[in-house]
Amino acid sequence: MFENSSKTTLESFGEFGLIKKLTENYSTKNPDIIKGIGDDAAILKPDSEKLQVITTDLMVENINFDLAYTPLKHLGYKAVVANISDIYAMNAIPKFITLSIALSSKYTLEALEEFYTGIYLACEKYDVELIGGDTNTSPQGLTISITAIGEVSPDKYVTRAGCKPNDLLCVTGDLGGAYLGHQLMEREKRVFLANPDMQPDLEGYDYIVGRQLKPEARKDVIELLAELNIKPTSMIDISDGLASELKHLALQSNVGFSIYEEKLPVDTQTLEMASEFNLDATMCALNGGEDFELLFTIDQADFEKIKSNMDITVIGFATNHANVCQLITPSGSQFDIKAQGWG
């Protein structure tokens, strides 16, 4: 989409000129968009039979991302994924996003084009339309704000409340990989800063690096649940770590949870990297964050429908002990789960 190879400063563009430059080759396809980018506001004609679901997220340079090892194209992609993951967590389908950025003078037009390439790639993959936003200057760094808008039938939406005692607790994919990928890149960054002649060594750990730099939202799981006619009793996406999200479900549903340590899905690369860093893989799975998997509960009657699916793991069950979340070890010992919030 963008073919510039030089370094062009942004001073000559102005806000509207910059937006025009970054979006001039982008066109919307959704017939529900009456007016998209280029006016004071977007105009939509949503399905009158469905509910709108809206979420927003903020990402700040050197707090939420480090450009020392995060390609701008990956950052744009991840920014979209992080937002629409919240829409999927409501059992809804994302339709539109707005994008606002504040950036310092160190950024060139070509850098922004790289960032927008990632935005557009994510929009294309998840069938989401960019309908507006804003740009502004910042004294330092880059700040990204995305608002995502989705839709869901009135009888299909799922919240964090609704779980009942004895419901089964399920998680998609595997956990802890994004955190260990982050730890690996932080280590290689420190090595490079100490000796710029040393090249980063990421060989053999492409999976966990990808989990951090280019995560995916679980659109496939939402489609599968609809196909299986399963409506979760509660659901949340795992952005701050399993332990933290578990506590949110417990609080909102007024239940407790018991989860089995041996049931936690952890990839082989995650296990190997945890061992290399002398970290406990279970703690990484519980507190790592940024996995963007889905944590949800289902009625026991739906177990037969998902029991053979390799990408959904039943890790525990809900109890009637409100806000008490416990980890059961293979030996049968029980420990209270604490949310450390590493991610």
Structural domains in the chain, CATH included, are 14-152 (3.30.1330.10), 168-336 (3.90.650.10)
DSSP secondary-structure letter at 38?
Answer: T
Which residue, chain included where needed, has tokens 């950036």? 103
Average pLDDT of each block of 10 consecutive residues along the chain (343 residues)? 64 64 71 78 84 96 96 98 98 97 93 96 97 91 97 97 98 98 95 86 91 98 98 97 97 98 98 96 95 98 96 98 97 92 46
| Closest C-alpha among 120, 118, 127, 122 to residue 150 | 127
Sequence-ordered list of residues with C-beta below 8 angstroms from that of 21, at least 6 positions apart, any chain: 13, 109
Do the beta carbons of residue 316 and residue 250 sit within 8 Å? no
d(CA 195, CA 242): 36
Angle at 220 between CA 259 and CA 160, to 5 degrees: 45
Query: CA nearest 54: which of 44, 63, 64?
Result: 44
Angstrom distance (rounded) from CA 61 to CA 84: 20
Residue with tokens 């993951």: 85
Which run of H or E residues covers position 143?
A: strand 142-152
At 198 the pLDDT is: 82
Query: What is the distance of C-alpha 4 from the center of its chain?
Result: 30
Of 214, 215, 212, the residue nearest 183 (C-alpha): 212
**What integer pLDDT is reported at residue 5 of this predicted model?**
57
According to the model, what pLDDT value does residue 196 have? 86
CB 125 within 8 A of CB 79: no
* Ramachandran sector of residue 123 (left: φ over 0; alpha: ψ -120 to 50; beta: rest): alpha
Find, among 216, 206, 98, 215, the residue nearest to 149 by Cα.
Answer: 98
pLDDT for res 75: 98
Q: What is d(CA 78, CA 84) in angstroms, rounded to the nearest whole number?
A: 10
How far apart are the C-alpha atoms of 228 and 200, rounded to whole Å? Answer: 44
Distance between CA atoms of 100 and 59, rounded to whole angstroms?
A: 11
Give kind and range of the element (H or E) at residue 313. Answer: strand 312-319
Closest CA to 87 of 228, 235, 249, 244: 235
